[in-house]
């Protein structure tokens, strides 16, 4: 080889241990993996921009069903699927032809950017627009929109942010929700705090309205509640050990859905193991109790930070 002779100390290539320790993003054909040099990781599928793993403090923090389809054939059962532009199934509304929870969780997103700003965090942005939707989905919801979903991994948190833009010539409206399946050691030994005094719609009771009486919501049967306009921080606590497992902080997301299917999990085809409901609790931050209006050219941004 012609050229200057390099002595080993001239080489700019990092030593192997430095490569392993550096924070970085690894892009594969169907997913992005984020690594922090301190050991935390996250894994996000392009399908749905679904976060399927978040490891922090040496433990997996998200529940992912062992029967979840990860091949893009159906929405992922577990992790953090994104709900947009409709929560549940609507009727008499422009979203009423869309399937339950909309199309964001079943569309393939594009990677927009990855940047390691420091050793303390790493971020990846995904984008979704009409050009990423199937012809059928476009027919079901023909509006022009742009979404940017930003996932940031820090040493102690997983931060997610959704930017929504109306890029069309007519107004439309939407729901959005971060459908987070938190992993818990034993769901019967945790409590959700921060909901006392909040009005909720109880889907297990046919949508009846009630007010949360307790500062410690415990789970001993099926729970499916939409807490409306939750004022502050919600936490998941281990009541046996007396320690906070997760702190959920929201920005511009009024509502919190708490869901555990309990033994109904047995009837959910892609839920496994059958008793896996004991190790999960969905605490879902969203804007779902009323439609978010989007005038032509307007932006909306909402986000959630889950800390351990
Ligand atoms: O089975 P899916 O479409 O992923 O929905 C799971 C659950 O998602 C929750 O957000 C809803 O409140 C529940 O009613 C629903 O059962």
How much is the ipTM here? 0.99
Contact 287, 178 (CB under 8 A): no
Catalytic pick from 40, 101, 179, 237? 179
The residues near 4 (Cβ < 8 Å, ≥ 6 apart) are none
User: 88-110 b/e with 16+ CB inside 10 Å = b?
Assistant: eebeeebbeebeebbbbbbbbbe
In this predicted structure, the answer to whether residue 152 has a pLDDT above a threshold of 50 is yes
In this predicted structure, the answer to whether residue 9 has a pLDDT above a threshold of 60 is no
Nearest Cα residue to atom 7 of ligand 1: 259
How far CA 13 is from CA of 36, 86, 135, in Å, comes to 20, 49, 47
In a domain, 5, yes or no: no
Tokens representing 45 are 């599928």
In this predicted structure, the answer to whether residue 21 has a pLDDT above a threshold of 80 is no
In a domain, 2, yes or no: no
Enumerate residues lining ligand 1, CB below 6 A.
75, 100-101, 179, 203, 224, 257, 259, 284
In this prediction the pTM is 0.93
Between 177 and 3, the higher pLDDT residue: 177
Q: Provide the 10 A C-beta neighbour count for residue 21.
A: 16
Contact 174, 86 (CB under 8 A): yes
Residue 85: cis peptide before it, omega within 30 degrees of 0? yes
Closest CA to 146 of 125, 124, 177: 125
In a domain, 3, yes or no: no
Closest CA to 277 of 292, 289, 261: 261
In a domain, 142, yes or no: yes
In a domain, 7, yes or no: no
Tokens representing 74 are 């159906």
In a domain, 284, yes or no: yes
Per-residue pLDDT, 117: 66
Per-residue pLDDT, 20: 54
**Cα 22 to ligand 1 centroid, rounded to whole Å:** 38
Domain enclosing residue 214, as ranges: 16-307
Quick one: what percent of the chain has pLDDT higher than 90?
A: 90
CATH number for the domain including 279?
2.70.98.10
Backbone phi, psi, residue 230, to 5°: -80, 125
How do residues 226-281 score in pLDDT, each as one tens digit?
A: 999 999 999 999 999 999 999 999 999 999 999 999 999 999 999 999 999 999 99
Per-residue pLDDT, 23: 87
In a domain, 34, yes or no: yes
Residue 273: cis peptide before it, omega within 30 degrees of 0? yes
In this predicted structure, the answer to whether residue 2 has a pLDDT above a threshold of 60 is no
Q: Which H, E and C letters describe 191-254, residue by residue? A: EEECCCCCEEEEHHHCCEEEECCCCCEECCCCEEEEECCCCCCEEEEECCCCEEEEEEEEECCC
Per-residue pLDDT, 115: 72
Q: Is 284 a catalytic residue?
A: yes
Contact 53, 34 (CB under 8 A): no
Helix (H) or strand (E) holding 110: strand 110-118
How do residues 115-124 score in pLDDT, each as one tens digit?
A: 766 789 999 9
3-class SS of residue 258: strand
Question: What sign does the dihedral 140-299-75-248 (CA atoms) show?
Answer: negative
In a domain, 28, yes or no: yes
Q: What is the rounded CA–CA span in Å between residue 40 and residue 148?
A: 23
Nearest Cα residue to atom 3 of ligand 1: 100
Number of domains in the chain: 1
């Amino acid at each position: 080889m012609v050229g200057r002779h390099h002595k080993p100390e001239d080489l700019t290539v990092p030593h192997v241990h430095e490569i392993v320790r550096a924070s970085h993003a690894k892009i594969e054909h169907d997913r992005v993996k984020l690594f922090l040099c301190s050991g935390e990781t996250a894994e996000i599928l392009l399908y749905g921009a679904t976060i399927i793993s978040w490891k922090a403090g040496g433990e997996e923090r998200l529940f992912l069903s062992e029967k979840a389809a990860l091949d893009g054939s159906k929405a992922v059962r577990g992790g953090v699927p994104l709900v947009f532009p409709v929560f549940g199934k609507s009727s008499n509304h422009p979203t009423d032809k869309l399937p339950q929870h909309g199309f964001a969780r079943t569309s393939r997103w594009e990677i927009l950017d990855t940047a390691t700003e420091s050793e303390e965090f790493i971020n990846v942005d995904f984008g979704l627009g009409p050009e990423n939707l199937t012809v059928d989905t476009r027919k079901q919801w023909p509006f022009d929109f742009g979404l940017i979903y930003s996932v940031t991994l820090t040493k102690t948190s997983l931060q997610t942010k959704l930017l929504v833009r109306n890029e069309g010539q007519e107004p439309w409206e939407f729901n959005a929700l971060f459908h987070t399946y938190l992993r818990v050691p034993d769901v019967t030994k945790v409590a959700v705090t921060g909901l006392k005094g909040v009005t909720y719609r109880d889907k297990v009771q046919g949508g009846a309205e009630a007010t949360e009486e307790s500062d410690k919501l415990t789970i001993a049967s099926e729970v499916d509640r939409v807490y409306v306009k939750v004022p502050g921080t919600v936490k998941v606590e281990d009541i046996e050990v007396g320690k906070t497992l997760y702190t959920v902080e929201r920005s511009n997301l009024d509502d919190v859905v708490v869901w555990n299917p309990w033994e109904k999990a047995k009837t959910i085809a892609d839920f496994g193991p059958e008793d896996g409901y004991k190790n999960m609790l969905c605490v879902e931050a969203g804007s779902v109790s009323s439609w978010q209006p989007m005038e032509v050219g307007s932006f909306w941004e909402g986000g959630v930070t889950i800390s351990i």
